[in-house]
Amino acid sequence: MSSFRAADTETPEPQRRPEPKPAAGTGLSRRSFVTAAALATAAPVAGATTASAHGSGRHGHPRPPAEPDFGPNVRIFGPDTPTADIQAALDAAALEQVPAEFGTGRYAFFFKPGTYDVDAQLGYYTSVAGLGLHPDDVTINGAVRVEGQDQPGGGDSALTNFWRSAENLAVVPTGGVNWWAVSQAAPLRRVHIRGQLFLFPRKGGYSSGGYIADSVVDEQALNASQQQWLTRDSTVGSWSNGVWNQVFAGVEGAPAQSFPSPPYTTLPTSPLSREKPFLYVDGHGGYRVFLPALRHDGVGTTWKGGATPGSSVPIDRFFVAKPGDSVRTINKALSQGKHLLLTPGIYKLTDTIKVKWAGTVVLGLGYATLTPVHGTVPLTVDDSRGVRIAGLLFDAGPVNSRVLLEIGGRRGGRTDPRDPASVQDVFFRIGGAGAGKATTALIVNSDNVLLDHIWAWRADHGAGVGWTVNTSETGVVVNGDNVLATGLFVEHFQKYNVIWNGDKGRTIMFQNELPYDPPNQAAYRHHGVNGYAAYKVADSVKHHEGWGLGSYCFFNVDPTIHNAHGFEAPVRPGVKFHDLLTVSLNGDGVIDHVINDFGDAAQGTATVPVNVVSYPEG
């Protein structure tokens, strides 16, 4: 297929720069705002860039643009790169990163359009992606794989295979099977598996949940030991197996709705989606970031017709940050109308990165990690209309932060349902790499926000872990209305894991483990109620709906602890839940009811879920 088939159909982003500053005393001006609807009707431009933008060579031919400086942890390969050199770079990263769960290495490997015969094994904090406009522009003959980790006494496990990703490429797997044995924070996006996809370790070990979007698996996707999983806006040849709940939204070839036996929750469409921004190379060799368009009632991939609808932004409209850059430098670029691209590394932040303008894109590569110093808030968004935050890991520091990411000010700010904000592949960690503290990981104050693949994790293992050490009350607080979460993973927080205060919220697939480490029941109760619900919908909410939600307990410090409710919500016609479950892992603790006072107790060593097909209908 053509490497640049969509170049004639994409729409460049309109001019983006702040208006002139007003006179003193009049307050800040606001950048002019263009809605997604306006973008959709803009006239298409032939080619993502023009030759004149790059000047001319001696004979009048366009001069290729200079390669951007993405820093030392980004490697870009072309079809002319010797295969041995590519394989050596991938192998060296795997050797370093496969065992480095809490290491400091961060890597991104990009492939320009072409065909490559390589085996890419991905360890922690490693991303592999194609640089075409279409996933089939880059073909990997071999593998883009994640293996289970060997366990003492034999066998393997994927329970801690976090923080790695593959995007925007096709894989022709050796032997017909590509292995992707992962758990949280390890997405497959815009991939084409020309064969089978196995989502479990080769030796048959455990794996605990994951995410696929905008992808095609030509043959069978074999789930096996995955506890919960979300696949959306995709196509599969077939799907086999599932442990507790497998959720599908807008997936061609998905199994029919059948929860709890087999444990499939199937929505015919994705009600609202917008794919993650991605880096690509245009027909003149210039780097750009593609911004996929908003999609309603999606079925199958955005690229099944050849070109993903959307707009693009040249790389020179981004401030390309590196870990040594100061927050002041980054904020100056943002205030001048630049987008922000964060190259791989760990950013120690002594102040807050402030996104002020509508339509700003903040894109991280290779699990760029934001770590607050002295309890600062790492990132805030003011005007959230059309803002896209993607590909970041927030790692709490030893001094408590009020929040790690806040979307919208305390009063929410301006929003637009035609151009929602999106937060995609954004992950939060409190503890694990060292002592960390944050009252809340993510607060959404704005209306009209898409939360698409979020993992907020108060660490249950690693360094700096303990009930009084890595303290954090709540993972996600949603105060805005019309917020949709697709793939919400929130685990181990010390009070409510999720608090949903906004109206007309929806969640498609929620995975939760309650905290392992309450020292006793007295430390884990409130207002005479044992424990805290994993997912709390405020009493004031009139409309809310959720599909495919699960919560587990494993109170291994004090196995006698009870949690009164897995889920809590007001009882009214506009609040509905479908396909809920609770589980006691190994019988360490009890969840007394699934939702409110409905549903039997999850208890006992058999680790069997208690299922509720619908609520309040029962």
* Catalytic residue of the set 513, 545, 568, 617: 513
**How many Å apart are CA 468 and CA 182, to the nearest integer?**
29
Q: Write the CB contacts of 63 (distance below 8 Å, at least 6 apart in sequence).
A: 54, 55, 56, 57
**How many Å apart are CA 319 and CA 208, to the nearest integer?**
37
Residue 149: both structure tokens together: 């980790």
Scan for tokens 């522009």, then name that residue: 137
**How many Å apart are CA 31 and CA 20, to the nearest integer?**
9
Among candidate residues 403, 407, 451, 444, the one with its CA nearest the CA of residue 425:
451
Scan for tokens 């070109």, then name that residue: 307
Residue 312 burial class via C-beta count within 10 angstroms: exposed 0-12, middle 13-18, buried 19 and up? buried
Q: What is the 3-state secondary structure (H, E, C) of 266-288?
A: EECCEEEECCCCEEEECCCCCEE
**How many Å apart are CA 398 and CA 380, to the nearest integer?**
20
**How many Å apart are CA 616 and CA 618, to the nearest integer?**
5
**How many Å apart are CA 270 and CA 293, to the nearest integer?**
14
**How many Å apart are CA 479 and CA 482, to the nearest integer?**
10
**How many Å apart are CA 513 and CA 551, to the nearest integer?**
6
Q: What is the 3-state secondary structure (H, E, C) of 52-83?
A: HHHCECCCCCECCCCCCCCCCCEEEECCCCCH
**How many Å apart are CA 107 and CA 73, to the nearest integer?**
5
The answer to whether the beta carbons of residues 228 and 487 sit under 8 Å apart is no
Q: What's the Cα-to-Cα distance from 319 to each of 18, 72, 275, 452, rounded to whole Å?
A: 15, 17, 22, 24
Which residue spans within 396-448 are E strands per DSSP? 401-407, 421-430, 438-444
H or E stretch including 333? helix 327-335
Q: How many CB atoms lie within 10 A of CB 82?
A: 9
**How many Å apart are CA 299 and CA 522, to the nearest integer?**
48
**How many Å apart are CA 162 and CA 182, to the nearest integer?**
6
- Among this protein's residues, is 568 annotated catalytic? no
Positions marked active-site: 513
